Amino acid sequence: MKQTIVLATHNAGKIREFKSVLEPLGYTATAVRDLCPQLPEPEETGTTFEENARLKAAYYMKATGLPCLADDSGIIADALGGRPGVYSARYAGPECDDEKNNQKLIDELSAFPPEKRTVHYACVLALLFPDGREIVREGRCSGVLRDFYAGTNGFGYDPLFYVPEKGKTMAEMTMEEKNEISHRGKALELLVEALS
């Protein structure tokens, strides 16, 4: 019988991506909402991506009794000492949206010359098993934050996140191009290596 891995996310894009990687390895990947639709989400109290990924994986593993894969990711501006970091999704406050988050980051980086506006996306994946085994992997993708939008194929900070080697923003790339270089794609590759 195939081993089930619970996916600790409600994001349809991530669920598709995780399934496409885990199922060819012989696992059944199931979204947590399909097993526990009423379960409230845990509060993300960690100060690092790894802490939050572990916290979510442990919470859903305990609730389901099954191995659980969780991720935490965000954008890090080098000139801002690592901000927004774990606060990327709520950088402009609890009621914010992508546009407000983007504008806050643009405003904060406007004090720096363009060559100092380097950023990277980071993603930590934590796969926890009920028997105590753990696989934790991190992927990163580097770029420069621009102060104008380009592209519609992304969300969050993607339209501002310019990748010099590709000559385009993350939001201007096709899904295939993005998967080749993305922080989540790199973390998934490392996870697959560990599971193979």
Question: Does the annotation count 72 as an active-site position?
Answer: yes
Helix residue ranges, H only, 71-173? 98-109
| Residue 73 is assigned to a ligand binding site | yes
**Does 184 count as an annotated binding residue?**
yes
Q: Which of 72, 78, 97, 147 is catalytic?
A: 72
Half-sphere exposure of 191 (CA within 13 A, CB side): 28
The answer to whether the annotation marks 43 as part of a ligand binding site is: yes
Q: Is 11 annotated as a binding residue?
A: yes
Q: Is 162 annotated as a binding residue?
A: no
Check whether 2 is labelled as a binding-site residue.
Answer: no
Query: 42: cis peptide before it, omega within 30°?
Result: no
C-alpha–C-alpha distance, residues 138 and 140, integer Å: 7
Which has the closest alpha carbon to 69: 11, 142, 154, 155?
A: 11
Pick from 57, 75, 78: nearest CA to 66: 57
10 a known binding residue?
Answer: yes
**Active site positions, annotated:** 72
- Which residues participate in the annotated binding site for substrate? 9-14, 73, 155-158, 178, 183-184
- Which residues participate in the annotated binding site for Mg(2+)? 43, 72
- Which residues participate in the annotated binding site? 9-14, 43, 72-73, 155-158, 178, 183-184
